[in-house]
A = this chain, B = another copy of it.
Amino acid sequence: MEVKARAPGKIILAGEHAVVHGSTAVAAAIDLYTYVTLRLPLHLDENNDRLTLQLKDLSLEFSWSVARLKEEIPYDDSSNFSPSTPSSCSSETLKSIAALVEEQNIPEAKIWLSSGISTFLWLYTSILGFIPATVIITTELPYGSGLGSSAAFCVALTAALIASSGSDKTRGDGWSSLDETNLELLNKWAFEGEKIIHGKPSGIDNTVSAYGNMIKFCSGEITRLQTNMPLRMLITNTKVGRNTKALVAGVSERTVRHPEAMNSVFIAVDSISKEVAAIIQSKNENSVTEREERIKELMEMNQGLLESMGVSHSSIDTVMQTTLKHKLTSKLTGAGGGGCVLTLLPTLVSGTVVEKVVQELESSGFQCFTASIGGNGAEIYFCSD
């Protein structure tokens, strides 16, 4: 039996960093996906005892004997193993899993994959138990550049696991969503997976990836938004690696040094996020062009405020200047200090201009993606065989 699942990445449209200090942030799904293909043997075969994980984009494969996994991972079958009630991975379990991951030959340069592979083993065995399978991952998202690749991985994997466990009854043609109950379940499992990778994730990434569309996030509370306008962005990956923790700490230290100024900056960002959310949800009071103009202005304002927090980077400036030459507005998205930059592509922008901008950015060594914003969340696909 083969099940495919896909889950989108995300961008932060407004409010990054300030969200840590109580401001509202807005995040949106993008139509760049991580795909998971899950192949389960139709009949259990004593000769096939392997759980195999293929990371196609990295040309890496990892494989474990299912019997060994069962021996090593200390689940208490009677109580803990329960696919419909997501729980956190205990430190004891994580330790055993990490040992199993360490045995694999992960290339030194890709050692950051370890936590993702641990998450895989944990989600797989928690939801499907100890049965052999092949899981193939491909992704359109760059790893670790703030586009939510780890959440998309957790969500797509969990979607495939839930679908193949048979608990989802929606068997549409082609790609179809999960039902609300399973979406909720999926989101909870994915959040638990994100915890293994990130320690203390905000829950924004997995929620956007699971439900799609957009969300508003403030003081730990997530509100799903219904977008009423199409929005297209050019996403530029500067490929400059950043240290998110150091950037977040830097903003906090600056806030200690200049509390009055910084708190006003955070209040300004809060207003901007709320305005962005309102424009996106507004129903045709203004033309799309007018609404795009407003979003463009709010993006410019937010970028200025991010610069006043000290989280920009010369690579981001280069993207800003290149796009500005073509009258396009950009802002960093996520942690800053490199990472990714958003450029609004208005409905009326010509394809030639976009091509030119992309060409210029790529000749500076950046990687460009064009993405629609606020699309579908996790989806599954049952392959007829």
Contacts and interface: CB of A to CB of B under 8 A. Distances in A.
Interface of A: 254, 257-258, 260-262, 264-265, 267-269, 271-272, 275, 294, 297-298, 300-310, 314, 317-318, 320-321, 324-325
Contact of A307 (B267, B275, B303, B318): B303
11 contacts: A254-B297, A257-B294, A258-B297, A258-B301, A261-B272, A265-B265, A297-B310, A302-B308, A305-B308, A314-B324, A321-B321
A257 B271 CA distance: 12
Contacts of A262: 268
Interface of A is mostly: helix
A352 B84 CA distance: 67
A279 to B, nearest CB: 11
Chain multiplicity (copies): 2
Nearest to A320: B317
Nearest to A313: B324
A301 B308 contact: yes
Nearest to A273: B261
Minimum-distance CB pairs A-B, first 3:
A304-B308, A304-B307, A264-B268
Contacts of A320: 317
B257 A261 contact: no
Contacts of A301: 254, 258, 261, 265, 308, 310
Contacts of A258: 271-272, 275, 297-298, 301
B308 A303 contact: yes
A172 to B, nearest CB: 43
Contacts of A310: 297, 300-301
A364 to B, nearest CB: 13
Nearest to A293: B257
Given A301-B308, A304-B305, A261 B254 contact: no
A309 B304 contact: yes
A280 to B, nearest CB: 16
A363 to B, nearest CB: 17
Contacts of A275: 258, 261
A264 B263 CA distance: 9
A333 B100 CA distance: 60
Q: Of residues A262, A301, A318, which shows the largest number of chain B Cβ atoms within 10 Å of its Cβ?
A: A301
Contacts of A271: 258, 260-261, 264
A153 to B, nearest CB: 34
A325 B267 CA distance: 31
Contacts of A307: 300, 303-304, 307
